[in-house]
């Protein structure tokens, strides 16, 4: 990897929480010293449940929060010594949005660009091109509050890109969007990277989003990075595919499990009701062998090969499911 565009070492944030009732005042370590390295032009997914420290980390990297410890450079600018240099290099699209509902979309874009010292005419030209690229033609004169959720979110992205930043930080970009708008948004985010070589750092607590969008993933939980790698690497680290055999009854499941492990060797397996779950390195090639060798003596009601999802990865790394956090 050449010089990283984001290089954070031991980045830490602690808050002091005022005591209330019988709770004593205490300090909470929201981010416990994370190392983050991002190469130019990458799309990096920052994945973790709500409250894991994603947004706190992002707010430190975007100069909105002072780190309690550690160092970081963003596009070569030191976070502590040159925050304005960092701000010039980045775009930030916060979870809460960027635009005033009563403001006109085009004017918000132009004003935003002017805060970066960009000339009004250049800003208007660039803004219109950006909107067109995001399938937002014709909203220039519209009030932001009249746009649909998906349009408003794409306008947020345009706001974050109007000054042509080297890096854009997107915080939970697709939260609250319908499936079609999400897929559409992902396509646009990918195109931003492909067309402008913009580095994209995206936080999400959606597995499918991280899986579909990112070149590389960082998994954070309880303020610590618990895993890093491509989606495939992370899935492989879980230990392989699962082959699920459904027996004709719960009683027959034990015999089926014994027969299967005889064929495949001593692979990890568990029995759950009438289902036998076998973990194998490569499910697709194990299955034909299994069915052939076990012969017809066993009544198999169903078979399924399940490839690990990022949800499984998260479960393995943290001991809990991402979905638990959504309740």
Partner 1 sequence: MTIARDTWIVFSRAMRLSLRQPVWVVFGLLQPILYLALFGPLLETIADTRAFGEDVDAWQIFVPGLLVQLGLFGASFVGFGLIAEWRAGVIERMRVTPASRASLLLGRVLRDVIVLLVQGTMLVLVALLFGLRAPWWAMVAGVATVALLGACFASLSYGVALTLKSEDSFAPLLNGVALPLLLLSGILLPMSLAPQWLETLSNLNPLKHVVDGVRAMFRGDLTDPVALWGVGITVALVAFGLAIGTRVFRRESA
Kindly list the residues in this chain that would bind partner 1 in the complex (CB under 8 A): 59, 62-66, 84, 87-88, 90-92, 94-103, 107, 111-112, 114-117, 156, 159
Chain center to CA of 114:
31
Greatest CA separation found in the chain?
79
Contact between 191 and 133 under an 8 Å Cβ cutoff? The reply is yes
Measured at the CA of 73, the angle between CA 67 and CA 74, to 5 degrees, comes to 105
Least gap, CB of 317 to partner 1 (angstroms): 29
Residue 116 or 140 having the CB closest to partner 1: 116
Least gap, CB of 171 to partner 1 (angstroms): 10
> What whole-number distance in Å separates Cα of residue 292 and Cα of residue 318?
37
Least gap, CB of 112 to partner 1 (angstroms): 7
Q: 222 is written with which tokens?
A: 């309880």
Residue 94 or 183 having the CB closest to partner 1: 94
Residue 41 or 106 having the CB closest to partner 1: 106
Residue 103 or 183 having the CB closest to partner 1: 103
Least gap, CB of 91 to partner 1 (angstroms): 8
Contact between 52 and 224 under an 8 Å Cβ cutoff? The reply is no
* CA torsion through residues 283, 286, 292, 295, sign: negative
Residue 20 or 22 having the CB closest to partner 1: 20
What are φ and ψ of residue 299, in 5° steps?
-90, 95
Least gap, CB of 87 to partner 1 (angstroms): 5
Residue 15 or 268 having the CB closest to partner 1: 15
CA atoms within a 13 Å half-sphere pointing along the CA-CB vector of 176: 13
Task: Please tell me whether residue 266 adopts helix, strand or coil conformation.
Answer: coil
Q: Cα–Cα distances in Å, from 11 out to 68, 78, 93, 203, 321?
A: 8, 13, 21, 17, 26
Q: Cα–Cα distances in Å, from 234 out to 2, 51, 193, 220, 285?
A: 23, 22, 23, 13, 21
Least gap, CB of 200 to partner 1 (angstroms): 16
Nearest by Cα to 92 from 172, 147, 36, 15: 172
Measured at the CA of 214, the angle between CA 208 and CA 217, to 5 degrees, comes to 90
Residue 110 or 300 having the CB closest to partner 1: 110
Least gap, CB of 205 to partner 1 (angstroms): 19
Residue 85 or 229 having the CB closest to partner 1: 85
Task: Please tell me whether residue 105 adopts helix, strand or coil conformation.
Answer: helix
Least gap, CB of 95 to partner 1 (angstroms): 8
């Amino acid at each position: 990897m050449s010089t990283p565009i984001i290089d954070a070492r031991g980045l830490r944030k602690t808050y002091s929480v005022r005591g209330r009732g019988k709770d004593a005042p205490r300090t909470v370590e929201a981010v416990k010293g994370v190392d983050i390295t991002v190469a130019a032009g990458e799309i990096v997914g920052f994945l973790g449940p709500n409250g894991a420290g994603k947004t706190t980390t992002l707010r430190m990297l975007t100069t909105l929060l002072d780190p309690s410890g550690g160092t970081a450079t963003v596009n070569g600018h030191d976070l502590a010594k040159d925050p304005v240099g960092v701000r010039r290099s980045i775009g930030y699209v916060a979870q809460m949005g960027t635009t005033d509902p009563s403001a006109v979309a085009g004017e918000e874009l132009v004003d935003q660009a002017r805060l970066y010292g960009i000339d009004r005419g250049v800003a208007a030209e660039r803004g219109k091109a950006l909107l067109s690229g995001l399938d937002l033609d014709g909203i220039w004169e519209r009030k932001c509050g009249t746009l649909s959720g998906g349009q408003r979110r794409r306008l947020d992205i345009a706001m974050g890109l109007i000054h042509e930043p080297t890096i854009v930080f997107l915080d939970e970009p697709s939260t609250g969007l319908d499936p079609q708008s999400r897929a559409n948004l992902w396509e646009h985010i990918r195109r931003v990277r492909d067309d402008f070589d913009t580095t994209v750092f995206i936080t999400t607590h959606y597995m499918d989003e991280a899986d579909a969008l990112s070149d590389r993933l960082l998994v954070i939980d309880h303020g610590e990075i618990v895993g890093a790698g491509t989606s495939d690497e992370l899935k492989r680290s879980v230990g392989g595919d699962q082959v699920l055999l459904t027996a004709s009854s719960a009683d027959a499941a034990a015999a089926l499990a014994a027969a299967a492990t005889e064929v495949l060797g001593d692979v990890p397996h568990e029995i759950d009701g009438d289902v036998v779950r076998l973990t194998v390195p490569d499910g697709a090639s194990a299955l034909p062998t299994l069915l052939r060798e076990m012969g017809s003596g066993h009544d198999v009601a169903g078979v399924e090969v399940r490839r690990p999802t990022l949800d499984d990865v998260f479960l393995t790394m943290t001991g809990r499911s991402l979905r638990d956090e959504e309740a």
